[in-house]
Amino acid sequence: MTNAQPTKARLSYFIKNGIDPKSLMRTCPPQEYVDGFLIPVGVCTVVAMKGSAGKTTAFVHAGINAAATGIMDLFGLRNHDKPQRMVLVLGEESPLMFNQRLSNVLPDGAFDRYITACESGMIEVVCYREAKRNMVTPDHMINAEAKLSDGGVELFDAIIELNPDIVVFDTLTSLCGANQTDDTMVYSVIDILDDFASKAKCAVILTSHLTKDGLKKIDETTTSDELIATMRGSAALVNASRHSIVMVPASKGMYENIKIDKGDSLWVCAVKSNIGHPKNGETFPVIRSKKRMTFVATAPDGKPIGEVMELEEAAMLRRLRPYVYHAVKIAAERGMPYAGRGQNGIVAQSDKIVKELLPEGSTSKMVSMLVDEMTGTLLTICRTNPKDIGVLDVIGGPYNENDPDTGKFRTYISGAPDVLGMAAFINEQVDMDPNGKNLGQHNLNGNAVQDPF
């Protein structure tokens, strides 16, 4: 009989690597999507389609645009505030084949955007098949034992050093030597890629294929589960992946209300997700756009979901603008203004503002966007002594009277403003001007200022 260690001692390693309650946030940031809709950050997304469906072209084109302009046009549509660092790992193409795709397949302008992205260091294209030929011991990125090969380890380390925003691995079959019908190996492969996405803090896309047989008939009664089940390989690929997408061409007669341009085609998309995606377990239409050379998820009325989401966000921002403005104004008038930055700044305190004040559907990100937008036109940071970070006030507000040259500074109460205590006053002001048309129209001296709206 062996002398077993006490349970706590045996579990010490796992406890040390468990979840620290102190690290948890009561209001956790929502899942971020690099396209604003379907491709999550920090997770490996498996995208499966039949061969020659245009998935590589779509991902390459979307990647080049995102790297050159910051616009991620794939399924959804997100205009990032800066170009996105993109890494494309292509397992089936040689440099010549990539050049041909760039010059002869992608739309006009793609070549120049690619050169722009290369020169700014925002895109890297790895032709793994070519790289494998030059290895001392050629092997797949993930070897036959479902582990990273030496080349795979080197590649992953190099990519993480680039601090990427989006990484595409195309395709599972060409980059992985493990048996894709073996449950244990498939779980190991997905675990490797999810771990990579988490460490790199980026969106990871892994392309795959469908079974040869597929579904005999696809119509409005076809379920999401039925489509997801057509993904090639072990059923464990579906079960192991936290976010999976399957797309197949729509049958004639489906989505008759959606009008498409010449050369476009309608597809059915299914999503299986463990990260709380709103389309989990549903099917929805996607347009394969010849002009945009990408896949465009659409609403039931045929409008691109990305455009619908942009319109909804713009409408919400317009609605929230007077709330944020009056929160800053009233906090300053009460002598407890938001700090110019730091833990008592309005951005750091945005979770409380969302919870205690703003309408449903608002987010901390929206508060940050509005503060950035209004600073300089409606809001300003005022110095409160020669050395501090200043406080946030409206233009024409009480802290605008501060004069660093003479040393005359209005005093204030330090700490974060009491949003709940201000809520009734803020709501009263918003009710008087719900569209924010009169924000900043007059300063405290009664002088008219230019209406920025």
| Contact call for residues 50 and 39 (beta carbons, < 8 A) | no
Amino acid identity, position 224: S
Q: Give the Cα-Cα-Cα angle 337, 338, 341 (nearest 5 degrees).
A: 145
- Assess whether pLDDT exceeds 60 at residue 300: yes
Domain-wise residue ranges, the chain: 27-302, 309-432
Assign 445 a pLDDT band (cuts: 50, 70, 90): very low
Would you say 33 and 76 are in contact if contact means Cβ atoms under 8 Å apart? yes
**Residue 365 exposed, middle or buried by CB count within 10 Å (0-12, 13-18, 19+):** middle
Render pLDDT for 419-434 as a digit per residue (tens, 0 to 9).
888 888 888 888 887 7
Residue predicted with more confidence, 245 or 134: 245
Query: What pLDDT shows up at residue 63?
Result: 96
Q: Residue 227 pLDDT > 90, yes or no? A: yes
What six digits make up the tokens of 85?
Answer: 């660092």
Superfamily of structural domain 27-302? P-loop containing nucleotide triphosphate hydrolases (3.40.50.300)
pLDDT at 337 over 80: yes
Q: What is the pLDDT of residue 2?
A: 46
Output the pLDDT for position 448.
37
**Whether pLDDT at 368 is above 60:** yes
**DSSP tag of 102:** I
Q: Is the pLDDT of residue 29 over 70?
A: no
Residue 98 has pLDDT above 90, yes or no: yes
Diameter of the chain measured on Cα atoms: 90
Specify the range with the lowest mean pLDDT, choosing from 148-157, 205-214, 309-318, 319-328: 309-318
CA distance 115 to 64: 9
pLDDT of residue 452: 32
pLDDT at 453: 28
* pLDDT for residue 449 is more than 60: no
The answer to whether 206 touches 47, Cβ cutoff 8 Å, is yes
Nearest to 110 by CA among 101, 121, 119: 101
What's the mean pLDDT in 161-186?
Answer: 94
Can you tell me the mean pLDDT for 251-274? 91
With pLDDT > 70 as the criterion, what percentage of the chain qualifies? Answer: 87
Rounded mean pLDDT, 314-341: 88
Average pLDDT over residues 125-133: 92
pLDDT, tens only, 48-87: 998 888 899 999 999 999 999 999 999 998 888 889 999 9
pLDDT at 172 over 80: yes
Most confident of 28-37, 280-289, 337-346, 442-451: 280-289
Say if CB 36 and CB 76 are below 8 A apart. yes
- Residue 81's contacts (CB-CB under 8 Å, 6 or more residues apart) are 70
Q: Is 169 helix (H, G, I), strand (E, B) or coil?
A: strand
* pLDDT the model gives residue 319: 87
The confidence score (pLDDT) of residue 292 equals: 86
Residue 72, strand partner residues: 78
Q: Tell me what the pLDDT averaged over the chain comes to.
A: 85
Tokens of 108: 């006009």
Of 193-197, 200-204, 335-339, which range is least confident?
A: 335-339
Determine the pLDDT at residue 10: 60
User: How would residue 224 be classed by pLDDT, with cut points 50, 70 and 90?
Assistant: very high
Residue 329's pLDDT band, with cuts at 50, 70 and 90, is very high
pLDDT band at 243 (very low <50, low <70, confident <90, very high): very high
| pLDDT tens figures, 178-190 | 999 899 999 999 9
- Point out the least confidently predicted range of 288-297, 329-338, 397-406: 397-406
- pLDDT at 3 > cutoff 60: no
Angle between helices 364-374 and 305-333 (to 10 degrees): 70
Average pLDDT over residues 141-168: 96
What is the share, in percent, of the chain residues with pLDDT greater than 90?
A: 45
Handedness of CA 192, 195, 200, 204 (dihedral sign): positive
Q: Average pLDDT for residues 378-387, to the nearest whole number? A: 78
